[in-house]
Amino acid sequence: MRFLRQTWAIAAKDLRSEIRGKEAVNASVSFALVILLLFSFAFDLEPEQIRDIAGGLLWLVFTFAGTLILNRSFARELVNDCLDALLASPVSGAQLFFGKCVANYVLIIVVECISLPVFAIFYNVRLPQRLALLFLVMLLGTWGITVIGTLFSAMTVNLRLRELMLPTLVYPMLIPALVGAIELSRVLINGGSLAENMIWFRILVAFNVIFTILSLALVEIVLVG
Amino acid sequence: MSPQNYTFMFFGFTVAWLIVIGYVISIALREKNLRKELDRVKRMVEEGEQTRR
Amino acid sequence: MRLKIIVTLTAVAGLILAWNLYRIFLQVPDEANQGAIFRIIYFHVPAAITSFTGFYIAMFSAIGYLVTKDLRFDSIAASVNEVSLALASITLCTGSIWGRIIWGIWWTWDPRLTSFFVCWLIYVGYFMLRRAIDDPTARARLSAVLSIFACVDIVLVWKSIEWFRTQHPGPVLEIRGGGGMAPGMEAPLWWNFLALLMLATALILIRTRQETMKLEIDALRRHAHAF
């Protein structure tokens, strides 16, 4: 119980500071819109073809925009030695990490909820009737991105080339989750049934469970040593 | 046997060996640089100790 | 003593490779469907297996560092990963050339090739991380965690092949089930595997010594600047 309370304290701190400043979400949403614009130049496709690649496009937008938020996650604590203060506090490394995960997760979901309708409008993609299922896939996929991204944000926080290193390290690691999310999204947008594609669902869930546990176990080593 | 097949096989083997040789050369170069650096630092330590005496 | 081991390993590996090359090129008959190009398998498959094994050995060495805090484990992990990365590069290149002949394309995004490429990318990132950190202890700690994550992730990436139709030739060796190779053709593969393993071990020993030398230089430099 105490674990959750302290985790929530960290998450609330990050969310409150973001609500007041709105820097990360604004930058992230703008970036998502720019990517959607660039993709419109890169691809000039018929509606049926767009629906085939919609899943992939969507998750590329989500991942790139999400990286902006993840980068700031631990980097924002470097100013005024806040990170040292947090590490010295009674909050354990796992609680600090999990709190930041929750905060990042909420922020990325917000960005996704804004990007999804914009994507549907720009590319004339009719969103599936069962929007709830698509939302479920978004929730699962985003957790995978958040967990890995937050851990690697902690790992690269003290490096010179932090902004460069985070994407380079994170994107290859995210591939199982991304592939699962992309396949499920593609199936749903094309009106297919989730039941026939349960394998991707399982990969997504397995990825989330395994890496959440692994991250919670190893984050103390990454942060403190 | 089609000559094209042999050409590609030759390419394949060549690439593999080039990578191996390239890697071994890079290791050898690193060895040379490390030895030079080690000697330099050892000299630095000795000079430091001499000036202290 | 160490130098003797390295030289012996390299010499024996070299002999096996030379003898095997003779067998591969002159004694083994051309394969029915693929023709001459299939001989690439004698380097492609051993390189793939060796590099994969290397990554996992490095992970155990990294765990060894996290448990004992002895930097020698970190040196071993880094060296093994580096040699494995070189072998992985060989695997990708030879696989691509093999594919060009067999399937007519230099590359295809089928799961086996893709997951190997992902593995390669992750370890390139591993070495970028190592270069970006100056402090040896922090470098050892963080690259150990990355190594563990990478090895767990690779399993997940690899698992997706079993649920995907693949363009890669089906399993050819006995241990994987599926069509086997004719008995005369299989032996050179295992000999090559042994030779590559020995070559890799020799290279790893050299690299580990270099890593230890680097640590020594760092310590001496700190000693020199302390005055």
Q: CB-based contact (8 Å) between C4 and chain B?
A: no
pLDDT higher than threshold 50 for residue A69: yes
Chains C and A touch (3+ CB pairs under 8 A): yes
Q: Looking at residues C90-97, what average pLDDT do you find? A: 86
Identity of the amino acid at A217 = A
**Which residue of chain C has the CA closest to B27?**
C207
Q: How confident is the model at residue A148 (pLDDT cuts 50, 70, 90)?
A: very high
Q: Using a CB-CB distance cutoff of 8 angstroms, which residues of chain A are in contact with residue C157?
A: 175-176
- What is the C-alpha to C-alpha distance for residues A57 and A116, in angstroms, rounded to an integer? 11
Name residues 184-213 of chain C within 8 A of B (Cβ): 199, 203, 206-207, 210, 213
Residue C31 φ/ψ, nearest 5 degrees: -75, 150
C-alpha radius of gyration, chain C, whole number: 20
pLDDT higher than threshold 90 for residue A84: no
ipTM value = 0.90
Q: How confident is the model at residue C34 (pLDDT cuts 50, 70, 90)?
A: low
Q: Please tell me the distance in Å from C224's CA to the nearest CA on chain B.
A: 5
Looking at residue A124, its pLDDT comes to 82
Q: H or E stretch including C5?
A: helix C2-22
Contact C147, C62 (CB under 8 A): yes
**What mean pLDDT value characterizes chain C?**
80
- Are C129 and A155 within 8 A, CB to CB? yes
Q: Using a CB-CB distance cutoff of 8 angstroms, which residues of chain C are in contact with residue B32?
A: none
Residues 6+ apart with CB under 8 A from A91: A6, A9, A10, A99
**Tens-digit pLDDT profile for residues A2-61:** 888 999 999 999 999 999 988 889 999 999 999 999 988 887 777 778 888 888 899 999
**What mean pLDDT value characterizes chain A?**
90
Looking at residue C32, its pLDDT comes to 56
**Tens-digit pLDDT profile for residues A150-197:** 999 999 998 888 888 999 999 999 988 998 898 899 888 888 887 877
- Are C223 and B45 within 8 A, CB to CB? yes
**Most confident by average pLDDT, A2-11, A207-216, C173-182:** A207-216
Chains that touch A (3 or more CB pairs under 8 A): C
- Are A169 and C125 within 8 A, CB to CB? yes
pTM over cut 0.95 = no
**Tens-digit pLDDT profile for residues C46-85:** 888 999 999 999 999 999 999 999 999 999 999 999 999 9
Compare CB distances from C100 to B8, B24, B52 and report the shortest one's residue: B8
For residue C55, is it left (φ>0), alpha (ψ between -120 and 50) or beta?
alpha
Can you spell out the DSSP letters for chain B? --HHHHHHHHHHHHHHHHHHHHHHHHHHHHHHHHHHHHHHHHHHHHHHHHHH-
**Which residue of chain B has the CA closest to C206?**
B27
**Tens-digit pLDDT profile for residues B10-48:** 777 788 888 888 888 888 888 899 989 989 888 888 888
Q: CB-based contact (8 Å) between A74 and chain C?
A: no
Q: Using a CB-CB distance cutoff of 8 angstroms, which residues of chain A are in contact with residue C139?
A: none
